[in-house]
């Protein structure tokens, strides 16, 4: 038992011993670990201290005095030396490598000393831009690059810019001139690298209006440098954003992610590089500007746009390099890191910069070429283009390059504006000539209307002096300033054509003109361009013409695009734009804007390009007038003598088989004998047509009254204007006579006005010449003739008879005379009017006033006048003869109002035919 106890104690004691041993080991390890950690901490603290003063100063810096001699210090210094030499082992030839890099990436003016290039013109155009642009030089001690202390190594410092990076410069106090010199230096290197015009610089300075980089003054007169209004940063940002959008769309469509990629692949530069320099004042931009700026910065590089920001505090998207000035010579840059000071290049000699700027400016202007002529707009071969997709033609030149106008899907309609004399008509001629020379009349049809007083398009139709015409022109309307109805007629015509094309497209199950042409290759589907000069006349009254014109124009503007019907609306700026009040649809659809110099409100409100456009230039803008779409163009003189007519003759000879255009000249009265409506009249049995005047239509047509055997088929001419009344009755009678063989019709001509006797007799002679036997009666016989005609109504042989009465009201007293128990002459006339037409006897009568006609007809007799022509009569008087509707009509010379209740909803303006007067002969 006792032995057992002893054994147990020994076992416990042993276990305790073993435990004590283990604990001792653990404590020893912990102590060692702690000592190591303390050692490491000491070294780290020392390392930090050494790094704070710099390894090179560790030997003598007072901050390290108390640690010198410590073993840990020796080991830290030794470790740091090892690290540095290992790091700089690769950098031993760093400066030399940098020098080589800058030399290869910043070749020529991009990196070479100014003396070698300042004042010479750049030669790079479509190829790659230099990758780096020199700004100065840095020097480092030999030791820092693993070499010998005290020796110096210097290398060029350059920054990327075009296509690569934005630049953000931060000034130090009193260093504005250094910043200017830095920016001027950079810009001058860029401008001297490329061919003049390949780079466009935009300058904006929050604090200065004009004197931003004054040495560039000469360039600011060209498109190479634009100085922006300090209060309108938003305009500049808008313009840049617009360029980015446009370029992005263009490059993406062509299948490239960036402009640079496209340039590389095609070997062609289609856009200039753009550099926008923004000078701030160190204060934050307004939040909306900042937001726009960031948006621009993120898309700019892909569009060849680089930003140089000076004291504009912001963090930009896209790649950005920074330069921070330390004083007026030194800076640090993100290219080299904060440990290296850069000695910026000294300012370029101001006189030489100004001289170089002047040279470049001169070259830019020379590149614009001497004044280019109209002939330069024409292709070498005529009629080679196809209009299925769009119409495209140059209208002038800018800096030597042709500037095109495109009429197509994105820009279906155009608005042209400018003050009087600014060259609108000339522009139209340049455009029409350039288009007509490229597209054959099968590809392009022109409808040309000028509301101006004058005959600007008259030369495009055959004339007395020149028999040629522009074969593309289908309609030429001149002197239509008082005939707004003609504008309406054109819009109606186009609207009908739109419907016709839509129907055809539907039939072929296609949606637009390009597809329709593909589906129907034998069809005639030219693109139609309708030019309306001074179009605001269409909207000149508060009447039905304005209302209808607005509705039609809106419809055409909206739907014309897909069917190849395009509007070109020209006007004096303000008047034209004001005309759009309440019709924004038309205005908005005119995405092609052309602003002549000093034109206001044609472009977007903030777009001031037209204000500064020089004489004989135009701002062509395919982006609804937003600044980034501006293309300044010098328009050649297309209105000079022997310019357009020469082209017209060539085209006329070439396309001789295409007929001439319809010419509508509002100042010339139409001739009945030349009217197709008259010359093509054929014998008509029961529905003879009495022509009364020319209708205002796109087709050469006449208004006619059908004198069928039906109640009310009489014609009244109303008003005191003798010449026109004679014209209407003569046209009606002669046209009727043409529709009957000799002897098959009777004409009774009753003249109640002595002064018209000769004309009535002359008409009778005309009828006789056709083989008819007209009866002419004088005023005194009219009551008898009327009674006689009324009596004959009961005869069975009521053959066609026309009773033409001149000045019925002049014989009213005689007609009203009544013998007791017998009907008066007036009663007979009323019978004739009421019952005659059904029996084939029609009255064509002239009353010199509406009230006088009413007197003749008596109560309820208005039904017997089925058609009338009103001359110098106010519209308000005519309601009774127009189913009670309000008639808008103010008499005007050479025009009449025609209404036929059997065919018209409302009266229409008609043009009485010109009568051959004795004095004309």
Ligand X SMILES: Nc1ncnc2c1ncn2[C@@H]1O[C@H](COP(=O)(O)OP(=O)(O)OP(=O)(O)O)[C@@H](O)[C@H]1O
520, 504 contact by CB (below 8 A): yes
Distance separating alpha carbons of residues 742 and 92, to the nearest angstrom: 120
Q: What are phi and psi of 857, to 5 degrees?
A: -75, -30
In whole angstroms, the minimum distance from the beta carbon of 572 to ligand X comes to 6
Q: Residue 169 gets which letter from DSSP?
A: E
When the beta carbons of 424 and 474 are compared against ligand X, the nearer one is 424
Binding-residue pattern over the window 619 to 638 for ligand X, x denoting contact by CB under 6 A: ----------------xxx-
When the beta carbons of 426 and 563 are compared against ligand X, the nearer one is 426
Please list the helix, strand and coil fractions of the chain in percent, rounded to the nearest 5, in that order: 45, 20, 35
Q: Does 426 participate in binding ligand X (rule CB under 6 A)?
A: yes
485, 567 contact by CB (below 8 A): no
When the beta carbons of 423 and 894 are compared against ligand X, the nearer one is 423
Stretch that binds ligand X, among 402-410, 422-430, 715-723, 861-869 (CB under 6 A): 422-430
In whole angstroms, the minimum distance from the beta carbon of 644 to ligand X comes to 11
Distance separating alpha carbons of residues 753 and 872, to the nearest angstrom: 18
Neighbours of 642 (CB within 10 A): 6
When the beta carbons of 482 and 639 are compared against ligand X, the nearer one is 639
In three-state secondary structure terms, 530 is strand
In whole angstroms, the minimum distance from the beta carbon of 415 to ligand X comes to 14
In whole angstroms, the minimum distance from the beta carbon of 173 to ligand X comes to 53
Burial degree of 355 (CB within 10 A; 0-12, 13-18, 19+): middle
When the beta carbons of 616 and 889 are compared against ligand X, the nearer one is 616
When the beta carbons of 160 and 423 are compared against ligand X, the nearer one is 423
Distance separating alpha carbons of residues 200 and 179, to the nearest angstrom: 20
Q: Does 422 participate in binding ligand X (rule CB under 6 A)?
A: yes
State how beta strands 225-227 and 199-205 pair. Answer: parallel
In whole angstroms, the minimum distance from the beta carbon of 897 to ligand X comes to 31
User: Of 423, 688, 750, 907, which one interacts with ligand X (CB under 6 A)?
Assistant: 423
In whole angstroms, the minimum distance from the beta carbon of 579 to ligand X comes to 15
In whole angstroms, the minimum distance from the beta carbon of 596 to ligand X comes to 6
Two tokens at 536?
Answer: 């605001």
Binding-residue pattern over the window 849 to 878 for ligand X, x denoting contact by CB under 6 A: ------------------------------
Stretch that binds ligand X, among 423-431, 485-493, 763-771, 779-787 (CB under 6 A): 423-431
574, 600 contact by CB (below 8 A): yes
Two tokens at 667?
Answer: 């100042």
- Cα distance between the two ends of the chain: 171
168, 183 contact by CB (below 8 A): no
- Measuring CA to CA, how many Å separate 486 from each of 320, 421, 493, 675, 911? 61, 25, 10, 17, 11
| Residue 422 in marked binding region | yes
When the beta carbons of 299 and 636 are compared against ligand X, the nearer one is 636
Q: Compute the residue count for the chain.
A: 921
User: Of 216, 616, 802, 898, which one interacts with ligand X (CB under 6 A)?
Assistant: 616
Q: Residue 912 gets which letter from DSSP?
A: P
In whole angstroms, the minimum distance from the beta carbon of 540 to ligand X comes to 16
- Of the candidates 523, 517, 560, 553, the residue with the CA atom closest to the CA atom of residue 538: 553
- Ramachandran quadrant class, 633 (left: phi over 0; alpha: psi -120 to 50; beta: rest): beta
746, 789 contact by CB (below 8 A): no
Distance separating alpha carbons of residues 49 and 36, to the nearest angstrom: 20
In whole angstroms, the minimum distance from the beta carbon of 308 to ligand X comes to 37
Q: Does 165 participate in binding ligand X (rule CB under 6 A)?
A: no
749 contacts: CB under 8 Å, gap ≥ 6? 733, 760, 763, 764, 774, 775, 776, 777, 804, 806
Q: Does 148 participate in binding ligand X (rule CB under 6 A)?
A: no
Stretch that binds ligand X, among 88-96, 418-426, 702-710, 905-913 (CB under 6 A): 418-426
- Measuring CA to CA, how many Å separate 446 from each of 336, 499, 661, 667, 834? 65, 18, 9, 22, 49
Distance separating alpha carbons of residues 136 and 899, to the nearest angstrom: 88
Could you tell me how many residues of this chain bind ligand X (CB under 6 A)? 13
User: Of 421, 523, 742, 858, which one interacts with ligand X (CB under 6 A)?
Assistant: 421
When the beta carbons of 538 and 707 are compared against ligand X, the nearer one is 538
In whole angstroms, the minimum distance from the beta carbon of 424 to ligand X comes to 4
Stretch that binds ligand X, among 424-432, 467-475, 753-761, 775-783 (CB under 6 A): 424-432
In whole angstroms, the minimum distance from the beta carbon of 377 to ligand X comes to 11
Q: Which residue has the tokens 């204060």?
A: 283
CA 676 remoteness from chain centre: 40
Neighbours of 699 (CB within 10 A): 11
CA 35 remoteness from chain centre: 83
| Residue 421 in marked binding region | yes
Q: Does 487 participate in binding ligand X (rule CB under 6 A)?
A: no
When the beta carbons of 457 and 616 are compared against ligand X, the nearer one is 616
DSSP 691-760: EEEEE-SSS--EEEEE--SSTT--EEEESS-HHHHHHHHHHHHHHHHHTS-TTSSEEEEEE--GGGHHHH
When the beta carbons of 397 and 740 are compared against ligand X, the nearer one is 397
Distance separating alpha carbons of residues 600 and 420, to the nearest angstrom: 12
Binding-residue pattern over the window 639 to 678 for ligand X, x denoting contact by CB under 6 A: x---------------------------------------
When the beta carbons of 431 and 498 are compared against ligand X, the nearer one is 431
| Residue 423 in marked binding region | yes
User: Of 171, 192, 222, 425, which one interacts with ligand X (CB under 6 A)?
Assistant: 425
DSSP 378-389: S-SSTT----SS
| Residue 319 in marked binding region | no
When the beta carbons of 594 and 808 are compared against ligand X, the nearer one is 594
Q: Does 420 participate in binding ligand X (rule CB under 6 A)?
A: yes
State how beta strands 841-847 and 715-718 pair. Answer: parallel
In whole angstroms, the minimum distance from the beta carbon of 552 to ligand X comes to 25
| Residue 425 in marked binding region | yes
In whole angstroms, the minimum distance from the beta carbon of 635 to ligand X comes to 4
Stretch that binds ligand X, among 41-49, 200-208, 416-424, 869-877 (CB under 6 A): 416-424
571, 416 contact by CB (below 8 A): yes
In whole angstroms, the minimum distance from the beta carbon of 534 to ligand X comes to 8
When the beta carbons of 453 and 781 are compared against ligand X, the nearer one is 453
User: Of 418, 487, 564, 597, which one interacts with ligand X (CB under 6 A)?
Assistant: 418
- Of the candidates 530, 528, 510, the residue with the CA atom closest to the CA atom of residue 520: 510
693, 912 contact by CB (below 8 A): yes
| Residue 418 in marked binding region | yes
Q: Does 424 participate in binding ligand X (rule CB under 6 A)?
A: yes
When the beta carbons of 352 and 639 are compared against ligand X, the nearer one is 639
Q: Does 479 participate in binding ligand X (rule CB under 6 A)?
A: no
Residues lying near ligand X in the complex (CB under 6 A) are found at 418, 420-426, 616, 635-637, 639
List the binding residues.
Answer: 418-425
Query: What residues are designated binding site for ATP?
Result: 418-425
């Amino acid at each position: 038992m006792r032995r057992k106890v002893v054994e147990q104690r020994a076992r416990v004691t042993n276990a305790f011993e073993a435990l004590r041993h283990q604990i001792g080991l653990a404590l020893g390890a912990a102590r060692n670990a702690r000592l190591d950690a303390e050692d490491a901490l000491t070294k780290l603290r020392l390392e930090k201290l050494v790094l704070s003063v710099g390894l090179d100063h560790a030997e003598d810096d007072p901050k390290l005095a108390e640690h010198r001699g410590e073993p840990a210090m020796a080991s830290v210094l030794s470790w740091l030396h090892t690290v540095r030499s290992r790091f700089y082992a690769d950098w031993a030839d760093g400066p030399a490598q940098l020098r080589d890099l800058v030399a290869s990436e910043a070749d020529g003016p991009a990196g070479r000393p100014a003396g070698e290039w300042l004042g010479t013109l750049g030669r790079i155009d479509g190829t790659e831009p230099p990758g780096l642009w020199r700004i100065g030089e840095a020097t480092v001690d030999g030791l820092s690059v693993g070499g010998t202390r005290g020796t110096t190594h210097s290398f060029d410092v350059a920054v990327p810019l075009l296509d690569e990076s934005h630049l953000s410069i931060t000034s130090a106090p009193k260093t504005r001139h250094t910043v200017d010199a830095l920016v001027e230096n950079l810009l001058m290197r860029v401008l001297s690298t490329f061919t003049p015009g390949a780079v466009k610089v935009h300058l904006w300075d929050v604090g200065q209006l004009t004197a931003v980089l004054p040495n560039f003054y000469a360039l600011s007169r060209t498109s190479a440098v634009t100085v922006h209004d300090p209060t309108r940063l938003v305009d500049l940002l808008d313009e840049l954003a617009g360029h980015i959008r446009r370029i992005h769309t263009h490059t993406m469509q062509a299948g490239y992610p960036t402009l640079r990629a496209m340039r590389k692949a095609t070997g062609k530069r289609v856009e200039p590089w753009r550099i926008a320099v923004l000078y701030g004042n160190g204060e934050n931009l307004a939040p909306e500007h900042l937001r726009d700026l960031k948006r621009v910065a993120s898309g700019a590089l892909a569009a060849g746009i680089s930003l140089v920001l000076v004291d504009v505090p912001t963090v930009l998207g896209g790649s950005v390099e920074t330069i921070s000035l330390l004083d007026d010579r030194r800076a640090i840059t993100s290219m080299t890191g904060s440990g290296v000071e850069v000695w910026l290049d000294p300012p370029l000699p101001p006189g030489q910069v100004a001289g170089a700027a002047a040279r470049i400016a001169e070259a830019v202007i020379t590149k614009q070429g001497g004044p280019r002529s109209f002939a330069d707009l024409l292709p070498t071969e005529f009629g080679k283009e196809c209009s299925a997709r769009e119409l495209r033609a140059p209208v002038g030149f800018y800096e030597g390059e042709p500037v095109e106008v495109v009429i197509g899907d994105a820009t279906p309609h155009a608005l042209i504006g400018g003050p009087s004399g600014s060259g609108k008509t000339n522009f139209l001629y340049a455009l029409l000539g350039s288009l007509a020379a490229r597209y054959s009349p099968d590809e392009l049809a022109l409808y040309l209307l000028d509301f101006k007083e004058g005959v600007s398009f008259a030369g495009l139709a055959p004339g007395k002096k020149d028999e040629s015409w522009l074969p593309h022109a289908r309609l030429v309307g001149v002197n239509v300033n008082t005939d707004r109805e003609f504008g309406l007629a054109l819009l109606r015509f186009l609207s009908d054509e739109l419907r016709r094309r839509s129907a055809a497209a539907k039939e072929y199950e296609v949606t637009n003109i390009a597809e329709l042409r593909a589906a129907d290759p034998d069809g005639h589907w030219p693109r139609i361009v309708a030019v309306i000069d001074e179009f605001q006349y269409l909207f000149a009254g508060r009447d039905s013409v304005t209302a209808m014109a607005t509705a039609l124009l809106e419809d055409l503007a909206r739907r014309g695009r897909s069917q190849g019907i395009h509007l070109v609306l020209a006007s004096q700026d303000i008047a034209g734009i004001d005309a759009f009040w309440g019709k924004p649809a038309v205005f908005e659809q005119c995405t092609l804007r052309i602003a002549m110099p000093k034109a206001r409100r044609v472009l977007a409100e903030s777009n001031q390009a037209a204000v500064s456009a020089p004489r004989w230039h135009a701002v062509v803008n395919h982006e609804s007038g937003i600044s980034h779409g501006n293309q300044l163009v010098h328009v050649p003189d297309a209105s000079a003598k022997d310019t357009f007519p020469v082209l017209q003759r060539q085209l006329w000879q070439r396309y001789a088989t295409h007929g001439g255009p319809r010419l509508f000249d509002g100042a010339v009265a139409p001739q009945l004998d030349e009217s197709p409506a008259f010359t093509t009249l054929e014998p008509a049995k029961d529905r003879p047509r009495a022509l009364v005047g020319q209708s205002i239509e796109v087709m050469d047509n006449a208004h006619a009254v059908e004198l069928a055997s039906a109640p009310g088929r009489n014609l009244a001419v109303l008003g005191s204007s003798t010449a026109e009344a004679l014209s209407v009755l003569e046209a009606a009678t002669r046209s009727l006579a043409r529709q009957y063989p000799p002897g098959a019709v009777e004409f009774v001509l009753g003249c109640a006005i002595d002064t018209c006797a000769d004309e009535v007799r002359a008409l009778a002679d005309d009828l006789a010449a056709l083989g008819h036997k007209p009866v002419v009666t004088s005023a005194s016989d009219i009551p008898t003739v009327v009674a006689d005609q009324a009596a004959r109504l009961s005869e069975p042989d009521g053959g066609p008879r026309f009773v033409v009465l001149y000045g019925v009201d002049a014989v009213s007293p005689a007609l009203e005379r009544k013998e007791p128990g017998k009907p008066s002459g007036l009663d007979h006339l009323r019978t004739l009017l009421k019952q005659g037409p059904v029996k084939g006897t029609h009255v064509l009568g002239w009353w010199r006033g509406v009230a006088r006609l009413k007197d003749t007809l008596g109560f309820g007799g208005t039904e017997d006048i089925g058609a009338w022509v009103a001359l110098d009569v106010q519209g308000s008087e005519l309601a009774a003869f127009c189913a009670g509707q309000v008639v808008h009509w103010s008499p005007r010379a050479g025009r009449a109002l025609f209404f036929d209740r059997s065919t018209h909803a409302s009266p229409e303006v008609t043009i009485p035919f010109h009568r051959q007067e004795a004095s004309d002969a």
